[in-house]
Structure 1
Amino acid sequence: MARATTDGPGGFAYTDADAEKRRGVRRMKTTATGLLLLAAVVFTLARWAQHNGAGAWSGYVAAAAEAGMVGALADWFAVTALFKRPLRLPIPHTAIIPTKKDQLGRSLGDFVGENFLSAEVVRGRLHALGLGSRVGGWLAEPANADRVTAEASTALRGALAVLRDNDVQAVVGEAINRRAAALEVGPGLGKLLEKVVADGGHRRVVDMVCERAENWLILNGPSVVGAVAGGAPGWTPKFVDRRVGERVYKELLRFIGEMRESPEHPARGALDRFLTDFAADLQGDTATRARVERLKGEVLARDEVQDFIASAWTSLRGMIVGAAEDERSELRLRARAALLSFGQRMAADERLQAKVDGWAEDVATHVVTTYQHQITSLITDTVAGWDADHTSRKIEAHIGRDLQFIRINGTVVGALAGLVIYTVYRAIAG
């Protein structure tokens, strides 16, 4: 792996690969410069031979070498002018990359925005991809559904781990309290109670209360008799108090037993009428509804209720985390089955594919049209933050080797052009 180093201002990261590329550029520079020097030597020797009567061939060689030098120097100037000022001379329109860095960044950002982040390009590209069909076919594979389920479970566990229990409990508690405070419970309770009484659903409760009361009286008979006798006036004889207590106890036991055994007992009818009237008051009586609202507020304000909300979240969180960790949990099995079903349906249903494609296109188009400037500014701002000299070196390391081939080609092509021109000239002149 290439080792990253920071070289110079702007935080430009260079790697060993960049250093190797720069060494390649230097080798190509040496080759191109050597070819220029070779052309100069050939030109010098050809001129010397021509002046010493070596023959017509020396003129052709000299013309080719001279044009090769011109081509090499011209291309050297052009390549060098991209990255720095040739011979350090302040020649206009040189050192283009260092001096025009910010302008190049803006132009690159505009180019990307116009040609890659336009609504038409994004929508057309996504439409050509057939995203719905591809996603459906991918999700229909059991291995892919397993992978998505596992990744989703990991993300869920991570989210729950990041969330602070106190914050969640506060939010949940506030939401419940706000919802309960905004909703009047009296009318709803009244309708529910009215339906329960009309359906006879309360009778089992009455039966249970009567049975429990009868059992309690049987088990606590002496205590009931003693309580009644103890409440008698002090001037009455104790045996009378005792007889009165026993009589009251027997009547209570008889009353409860008859009420339990007889569905048509008058007390049951009285209870039915009471509950019916109370249900009506809950729905229509202002005073009753106000008392219920006060009672609701008092109940919600109790610490026990808030502790119950907190414990409910803790229990729910533990259940979710446990289910997310267990590969065979009902939560993960159902999620996997749902993904497989959705993928199979999407792969086969063209209308669903069209809906998914349209949704993806709309979302992507909205993002690029709304945030195009923010996205392209990432390019322009990043380039603007680069150091000019190090930007030039970085770019030269990546494209400089190819640019040196331009110098080599310029030397060769210049020499050939010079030879052709000199040949045509000699043909016309001769």
Structure 2
Amino acid sequence: MTNVTQEPLVAVPGPDPETESQRRADLRKHKAIATGLLVIAVLIYISMRWLEYQGNSGAWIGYVRAAAEAGMVGALADWFAVTALFRHPLHIPIPHTAIIKRKKDQVGHALSEFVGENFLNATLIADKLRKANIPQRAADWVVADGGAERVSKEAGRLIDIVVNGINKEEAEQVLSALVIDKLQEPTWAPPLGRGLEQLIEEGRTEPAIDAVVVWMDDKAQTSEEFVTRLIDERTPTWAPRFIRELVGAKVYRELIEFTADVRHNPHHEARIELRKFLRQLSQDLQHDPQMIERVEQFKEDIMTSTPIRAIPGALWESARSTLTTMARDEDSLLRRRITNWVREFGTRVQNEPELRDQLEHRVVNAASYLADNYAGEVTSIIGETVERWDAQEASDRIELLVGKDLQFIRVNGTIVGALAGLAIYTLTELVFAVA
């Protein structure tokens, strides 16, 4: 035997306590009025019958008795009909009573079908949307009524909620996967070599060579004391001091002459050798296993270092802080850009009929598509929700909502019944009097 797990019952939605209390008071009052009319009809009927048994032969007694009798019948019949909707009259389990309590699920599904057929109908929705002129009205609102500022404010609020709602650790993992892992995944050396080779072929490495040469020359011009001290430290201590100074000065002059010559001569051998070095480096990066392995080791050391691994967290925190500040500040560049864009687009919609027609067509098509494909899923929520309601509570809630109006049926039944009884009795008297 298969065990079917039943979903737990949920509370039936209702009004706030103050409104519910007022509705219950109104329901009790109208029930009292309807019941009071029934009691009046009963008392009148008993009084008329008593007068008849006392031998009072007044013609009017028959008319009043007939009206009261029919009024009682109408009141009782309508009381039974109204009560049978929500409960068993007098707690007697008469068939086809307590209808709402017993038929709650069927009513819910019938309501789902009714809503789907009559409210989420694609043709009806499309017609309503076309008549609503949504693009034109939206454009008028954003341009003339401060709507652009309101859209910017709501967009900023949405950005604020989304950005600060993202889990920090998850954001860091995503950034790490998109940035760090993607950079670490490929072999660096061959692409670097191909890039360097292309730069050499296009002559784009010459500015770098010039920068190196200029830096060397500028550095040499300010290194006289360093060169002299270095030579002095390398010269034997037994050599005369003037010899050490002479050698230091000579080496310094040769150095600055060399760097100056390299700087001003674009065809200097040092430049040529530097170009050869770069070209050889581009080839080694692509084809030399040892060079490729060294670059890979360098890459591994860099990408696994603590500063690099901390980059995703720093990037996310910086982006989050910046976006939050800009989203909350109405004078920020982000908010002003959103406002201007919305206003400009609204102006275009106002002035360009073709754009307006395109937007309306898209809105209508989107709504029709949703209605055609998802109306059943939307309306099924009604039936599924009603199924989960407690039957007794649902019946009580519905009675509280419409019971006051249903009491007028009892009142009308009493009055209409009395008038019908009076009319029938009068007609009967006329017919037999003529006969």
Aligned length: 421
Aligned to 2:77: 74
Distance 2:407 2:315 in 1: 72
Distance 2:234 2:205 in 1: 34
1:400 correspondence with 2:403: yes
Aligned to 2:6: none
- Residues 305-316 of structure 1: pairs in structure 2 closer than 5 A: 305-316=308-319
Confirm or deny: 8 A CA contact 1:12 1:390 kept in the other structure: no
1:213 correspondence with 2:216: yes
State the shift of 1:75 in Å: 0.8
- AA partner of residue 68 (structure 1): G
- Residues 264-275 of structure 1: pairs in structure 2 closer than 5 A: 264-275=267-278
Deviations 1:31-82 (A, max 9, x none): 2222222222333333444563534333232222222221111111111111
Confirm or deny: 8 A CA contact 1:12 1:386 kept in the other structure: no
Distance 1:413 1:11, change over 3 A: closer
TM-score, structure 2 as length reference: 0.82
1:376 correspondence with 2:367: no
Aligned to 1:43: 45
Distance 1:81 1:334, change over 3 A: same
Aligned to 1:98: 101
- AA partner of residue 10 (structure 1): A
Confirm or deny: 8 A CA contact 1:141 1:340 kept in the other structure: no
Secondary structure at the counterpart of residue 10 of structure 1: coil
Distance 1:370 1:195, change over 3 A: same
Aligned partner (choices 6, 23, 27) of residue 29 of structure 2: 27
Aligned to 1:117: 120
State the shift of 1:336 in Å: 1.2
Aligned partner (choices 317, 339, 344) of residue 342 of structure 2: 339
Of 405-414 and 350-359, the range deviating more from structure 2: 350-359
Distance 2:145 2:412 in 1: 57
- Residues 217-296 of structure 1: pairs in structure 2 closer than 5 A: 217-224=220-227, 227=230, 247-276=250-279, 278-279=281-282, 285=287, 287=289, 295-296=298-299
1:137 correspondence with 2:140: yes
Aligned to 1:5: none
1:357 correspondence with 2:363: no
- AA partner of residue 406 (structure 1): I
Confirm or deny: 8 A CA contact 1:140 1:342 kept in the other structure: no
Aligned partner (choices 48, 58, 62) of residue 59 of structure 1: 62
Aligned to 2:156: 153
Confirm or deny: 8 A CA contact 2:184 2:303 kept in the other structure: no
Aligned to 2:388: 385
State the shift of 1:242 in Å: 7.6
- AA partner of residue 320 (structure 1): L
Distance 1:123 1:296 in 2: 60
Distance 1:387 1:133, change over 3 A: same
Secondary structure at the counterpart of residue 91 of structure 1: coil
Report % sequence identity.
35
Distance 1:314 1:85, change over 3 A: closer
Distance 1:99 1:69 in 2: 29
TM-score, structure 1 as length reference: 0.83
Distance 1:187 1:379 in 2: 63
State the shift of 1:92 in Å: 0.5
State the shift of 1:256 in Å: 1.0
- AA partner of residue 47 (structure 2): L
Secondary structure at the counterpart of residue 92 of structure 1: coil
- AA partner of residue 349 (structure 1): E
Distance 1:119 1:291 in 2: 66
- AA partner of residue 61 (structure 2): S
Aligned partner (choices 148, 169, 172) of residue 172 of structure 2: 169
State the shift of 1:425 in Å: 2.3
Aligned to 2:423: 420
Aligned partner (choices 321, 324, 340) of residue 321 of structure 1: 324
Q: Structure 1: 5+ residue runs without aligned partners?
A: 1-7
Q: Structure 2: 5+ residue runs without aligned partners?
A: 1-8
Distance 1:394 1:130 in 2: 39
Distance 1:238 1:154, change over 3 A: farther
Secondary structure at the counterpart of residue 94 of structure 1: coil
Distance 1:44 1:310 in 2: 90
